[in-house]
Amino acid sequence: MSEFDLIRDHFSGIGHRRADVAMAVGDDCALLRVPRGCELAVSIDTLVAGVHFLADCDPEALGHKALAVGLSDLAAMGAEPAWATLALTIPEADEAWLAAFSHGFARLATEQGVALVGGDTTRGPLAISVQVHGLIPKGTAVYRSGARPDDLVYVSGTLGDAGLALRLLEGGDPVSEFLLGRLEWPTPRIELGLALRGIATAMIDLSDGLAADLGHILEASRVGAEIRLAGLPLSEEVRDRVSASADWGLPLTSGDDYELCFCLPEQKREQMADVAGRLRIGIQVVGRIRKEPGLSCLLPDGSTWLPKRPGYDHFADAH
Ligand code: ADP
Ligand code: MG
């Protein structure tokens, strides 16, 4: 199979057919029409075998996740997903692997209205970069920098499930279908991100753990926050684990949750509850923004929890 057969068979016409694509796969560039009055939101993420995923993981799940992590960034800005490009480095052209990968990617793309419009294919150690492009009406994007003292801090979904799944896999222990799903098939919270335009003062997606990611909001907004750990939304399995070992690092510093963390003023609390109800997405208030800088995490007994490490950082040990 040539490189061009591979692209034609597995990466052409993938995802949603969009009227705003003038040229997709097949020429030197993709040509895309950004509507007047919109800003283009762009983000790229790379997944490397052995670093972000196990090389022998399910290729269909990998195709899904490679796109999902990018869509999660769009969600965190309040952008509507539109287009994606895919740079794929593979050790060999394994037909079954490519078909499964492309299938996982395509299903999520179609579901979210995204067209795969181009990419690059090379041979080498397995690595996947996906660039996503989304649209935001001018002036409505939600930044990390807008949190204000007394704002409520929310998170969607539950925390630490993916981290627990990874820990169990690495230890060779059995993993429930629920936990594995949370690790391998994350759901980007696109609808919630869109609904939070005009409501949230600040927002970020949880890729590195609540402590680190909320930390980015606090730094960008020049504020601090107090989080009540008893109020964190946890699945039954993570809750059991935390009550057995008091390991709060699991929900606070493990990555890959791809939930949203956002802030809004108390007056919008009811409006927010209505939005979550309409979207059928679980959200929870976990704390409050305050003027004094820093993140303070209150344990159920009133003492303060301090992280052993703040979250995943690729270069933390590199110097
Ligand atoms: P060029 O030499 O101009 O970079 P390529 O041979 O790399 O072109 O790619 C040919 C066409 O196929 C381009 O339109 C490119 O965007 C697309 N393409 C290549 N690899 C992929 C991929 N993995 N997924 C989607 N489109 C791809
Ligand atoms: Mg190329």
The whole-number pLDDT of residue 318 equals: 45
User: Rounded to the nearest whole angstrom, what is the distance from the C-alpha of residue 123 to the centroid of ligand 1?
Assistant: 13
Q: Among 23-32, 246-255, 306-315, whose mean pLDDT is lowest?
A: 306-315
- Note the pLDDT tens digit of each residue in 203-213: 999 999 999 99
- Nearest ligand 1 atom, CA 14: 25
pLDDT reported for residue 300? 86
pLDDT at 54: 84
Q: Residues of the chain with pLDDT > 90: what percent?
A: 90
Atom of ligand 1 nearest to the CA of 26: 14
Chain position carrying tokens 């919008």: 268
Site of tokens 């609904």: 195
What tokens does 251 get? 């929900």
The ligand with the least distance to the CA atom of 117 is 1
Alpha carbon of 119 to ligand 1 centroid (Å): 5
Structure confidence at residue 225 (pLDDT): 97
Please say if the pLDDT value at position 95 is more than 60: yes
pLDDT in tens, 264-293: 999 999 999 999 999 999 999 999 999 999
- Confidence tier at 317 by pLDDT (50, 70, 90): low
> Is there an atom of ligand 1 within 6 Å of 281 CB?
no
Average pLDDT over residues 176-192: 97
| Averaged pLDDT of the chain | 95
Ligand 1 near 115 CB (within 6 A): no
Amino acid at 163: G
Answer for the pair 315, 307: CB distance below 8 angstroms, yes or no. no
Q: What is the dihedral sign for C-alpha 48, 49, 53, 58?
A: positive
Q: Residue 2 has what pLDDT?
A: 85
pLDDT of residue 189: 98
Q: How far is the CA of 53 from the centre of ligand 1 (A)?
A: 24
Q: What is the average per-residue pLDDT within 87-109?
A: 97
Res. 308 pLDDT band, cuts 50 70 90: low
To the nearest whole percent, how much of the chain has pLDDT over 70? 96
User: What is the pLDDT at residue 313?
Assistant: 65
- More confident call, 312 vs 207: 207
CB atoms within 10 A of CB 178: 13
CA of residue 194 to ligand 1 center, whole Å: 31
Q: What is the pLDDT of residue 319?
A: 44
What is the tens place of the pLDDT at every residue in 115-169? 999 999 999 999 999 999 999 999 999 999 999 999 999 999 999 999 999 999 9
pLDDT band at 1 (very low <50, low <70, confident <90, very high): confident
C-alpha closest to that of 16 among 60, 71, 92, 69: 71
Q: What integer pLDDT is reported at residue 309 of this predicted model?
A: 59
Give mean pLDDT, residues 76-91: 98
Q: What local confidence, expressed as pLDDT, does residue 142 receive?
A: 98
In angstroms, rounded to a whole number, what is the distance separating the alpha carbons of residues 61 and 110? Answer: 15
3-state secondary structure the chain: CCHHHHHHHHHCCCECCCCCEEECECECCCEECCCCCEEEEEEEEEEEECCCECCCCCHHHHHHHHHHHHHHHHHCCCCEEEEEEEEEEECCCCHHHHHHHHHHHHHHHHHCCCEEEEEEEEECCCEEEEEEEEEEECCCCCCCCCCCCCCEEEEECCCCHHHHHHHHHHCCCCCCHHHHHHHHCCCCCHHHHHHCCCCCCEEEECCCCHHHHHHHHHHHHCCEEEEEHHHCCCCHHHHHHHHHHCCCHHHHHCCCCCCEEEEECHHHHHHHHHHHHHHCCCEEEEEEEECCCEEEEECCCCCEECCCCCCCCCCCCCC
Smallest-distance ligand from the CA of 15:
1
Q: Would the CB of 13 count as within 6 Å of ligand 1?
A: no
* pLDDT, tens only, 34-61: 999 999 999 999 999 998 988 888 999 9
Q: Which residue has the higher pLDDT, 178 or 307?
A: 178
For ligand 1, say whether the CB of 119 is within 6 Å of any of its atoms.
yes
User: Which residue owns the Cα nearest ligand 1 atom 3?
Assistant: 28
Cα separation, 309 vs 297, whole angstroms: 14
